Amino acid sequence: MRLRVSILAVIVGLAVATFAGDRGTQRNRQAQDRRSPQRGQRIVPTHPDEKYGDHEKQAFDLYLVDSDKPTPLFIWIHGGGFRGGDKRGVNQYMLQRFAEHGVSFASMNYRLSDVGPYPMQMLDAARGLQTIRHRAKQYNIDPKRIACCGSSAGAGISMWLLYHDDLADKQSDDPVARQSTRITCAVSIGGQPSYDPRVICKLFNTEHVHEALVTFYRMKDDKDLSRPELIRLFEDASAINHATRDDPPLYLYYPQANEPLPPNSTGKQHIHHPKFGPFLRAKTDKLGLETVLKLREDYETGGRNAPVIVRDQVDWVLKHFGIEPKKTE
């Protein structure tokens, strides 16, 4: 089977995606403002642009709540196909709901695929997490209660952190590197449990590889799909391959309609499809892992940012933090 990868299309797509992403981010922020419980009063970071590395993208914003004891922390990792997105695009309702329950919030940037290929993006997020743990006392954070969440690429990173073995290097001279990368739980919104193009094409019966994966792995042509060094990256980048019986719980939500795809679907058509959910559940169920799967069709209101959908995700995380969610009217 010949997998259709157009390098020219990727280059053109990058320019279009960047422009469209900027406009989409602006529209999303405006929509989030309208859905905020305190319309016109955006919650702003208490600690903006905290650095965890030398690159400008190696930074996170903190929204710390006032507390006389260490607070749990929820980390948002943005999506954008590893090519775009920004930590500023956070959901105001989600921020508010966590703050009402005494949970602090972080939104993290990471270097994108124009800077370097996998595993840079995952390792950046891990380093950001380790940096927060290293500064837990400074931030008044409970290092034992940290969860991650993201959409699309950010969801993939969150699942990768959830299932991957601890990256802590206990023998390192670097105190940050000695910190654990294990988390309490994770939420995935439209996420991909596998970034192996061979697996994705088989799952969706297609010959099309999403252009984001081309840049993610620096692929040049179809022959790259059989190169041993790239196959190792395909497999290592896929969170599903790291899942073991001792891993924490995961909440999956897919906002794309659960409808059949056309024959030989394009990457854009299948990359967020709900079929990824049962694909992952088939493995995690065998391992005895808690995996909640919610689809757009489970709600009267579809989409990604509807308050009832976000509230379900937040309340699930709260319970895993040992916090009883407050009832809403």
Q: Look at strands 59-63 and 71-77 and give their pairing.
A: unpaired
pTM of the model: 0.88
CATH superfamily of 7-320: Alpha/Beta hydrolase fold, catalytic domain (3.40.50.1820)
Note the pLDDT tens digit of each residue in 12-28.
Answer: 344 334 333 444 444 44
Range from 3-17, 35-49, 256-270, 297-311 carrying the lowest mean pLDDT: 3-17
Q: Which structure tokens are listed for 251?
A: 């909440």
Note the pLDDT tens digit of each residue in 177-208.
Answer: 999 999 999 999 999 999 999 999 999 999 99
Q: Which structure tokens are listed for 226?
A: 């059989």
Q: How confident is the model at residue 1 (pLDDT cuts 50, 70, 90)?
A: very low
Q: Pick from 80, 116, 119, 108: which is nearest to 210 by CA? A: 80
Q: What's the CA gap between 181 and 226, in Å, rounded?
A: 31
Q: Which structure tokens are listed for 246?
A: 């001792």
What pLDDT sits at residue 32? Answer: 38
Burial class (CB in 10 A: 0-12, 13-18, 19+), 31: middle
Q: What's the CA gap between 128 and 109, in Å, rounded?
A: 9
Q: Pick from 87, 84, 167: which is nearest to 119 by CA? A: 167
Phi, psi of 20, rounded to the nearest 5 degrees: -65, -35
Q: What's the CA gap between 251 and 265, in Å, rounded?
A: 26
Q: Which structure tokens are listed for 90?
A: 């956070």
DSSP characters for 237-306?
H-GGGG--TTPPPEEEEE-S---PPPTT--HHHHTT-TTHHHHHHHHHHHHT--EEEEEGGGSSS-SS--
Give the residue carrying structure tokens 């990173």. 157
**Residue partners of 295: CB distance under 8 A and separation at least 6:** 253, 254, 258, 274, 277
Q: What is the mean pLDDT of residues 278-283?
A: 99
Q: What's the CA gap between 226 and 228, in Å, rounded?
A: 6
Could you tell me what percent of the chain has a pLDDT over 70?
87
Q: What is the DSSP letter of 4?
A: B
- Binning the chain into helix, strand and coil, the percentages to the nearest 5 are 40, 15, 45
DSSP characters for 46-115?
SEEEEESSSSTTSEEEEEPPP-SS-EEEEEEE--STTT---TT---HHHHHHHHHTT-EEEEE----TTT
Q: Which structure tokens are listed for 55?
A: 């690159």
Domain ranges (residues) in the chain: 7-320
Q: How many residues does the chain have?
A: 329
Sign of CA dihedral 74, 77, 78, 79: negative
Checking if the pLDDT of 31 tops 90, the result is no
Q: Which structure tokens are listed for 68?
A: 């006389």
